[in-house]
Amino acid sequence: MKLSAVRFLTFCWNSLKKTFLFKSKKEIKENVKRRTMKSFSFFCKGHEKVLGTHKTTIEITTDTDLSLKGDCIIGINASSSLSVLPEIIKNSIRSLNAEIVFLIEVDKYCEKILGKGHPNLLLSDKRAIIVRKSNFVCPRTLMINADKSASQLSREMIDKMTNPEMEMKVTIKVYRGETSTSKQT
């Protein structure tokens, strides 16, 4: 029985040495920083013309009105835009290998969209936040290579967003990879 305890403690000690003891404080901080999730939430409203039928994008806008041409728009009158995202979120999104979760909550419905960041994302538009299935980048793009578009979202949730009084909570979560300025090893 004592021998098993000694082996267990030895295993734990060796694991700790590999994880922390032979790394500098700077290396440990960088490893933690890389895996740390950054998050930002905001709200928007529904509109009677919300369609949510676009095959390649999802859009949230600060505009207060919507035409039927905006078939990618699922929320209006947003409390935030790309231009006002905190710099720490923007820098994380612009990291190489940044993984982004775009979480949409409406009433009892929740959708999670996964996508990627990129160093060329400008994140500067004052009106729109666009999630793209493609790798197209413009000032309105939040993330690329998303796994869903507006047409793939829950129809029940989209139906809820046709009510102008309905509120949507949007959370952007960024899991950061290597920074675009750091050396790759």
Domain ranges of the chain: 38-175
**One-letter amino acid identity for 3?**
L
DSSP secondary structure string for all residues of 7-35: HHHHHHHHHHIIIIITS-HHHHHHHHHHH
Cα gap 39→31, rounded to integer Å: 18
Question: Among the CATH numbers 3.30.70.1450, 3.60.21.10, 2.40.440.10, 2.60.120.630, which is that of 38-175?
Answer: 2.60.120.630
Question: 81: which DSSP letter?
Answer: -
- Token pair 């728009």 is at which residue? 73
- What number of CA atoms fall less than 13 Å from residue 108's CA on the CB side? 1
Cα gap 18→6, rounded to integer Å: 18
DSSP secondary structure string for all residues of 43-69: EEE--TT-----SSEEEEES-S---TT
Tens of pLDDT along the chain (185 residues) come to 455 666 666 665 565 555 555 555 566 555 555 556 789 999 999 999 999 999 999 999 999 999 999 999 999 999 999 999 999 999 999 998 899 999 999 999 999 999 999 999 999 999 999 999 999 999 999 999 999 999 999 999 999 999 999 999 999 999 975 444 433 33
Compute how many other C-beta atoms are within 10 angstroms of the C-beta atom of residue 22.
Answer: 8
pTM metric for this prediction? 0.78
**What is the Cα Rg of the chain in Å?**
21
Enumerate the H helices of the chain as residue ranges: 2-16, 25-35, 87-93, 155-160
Share of the chain residues as helix, strand and coil, in percent rounded to the nearest 5? 25, 30, 45
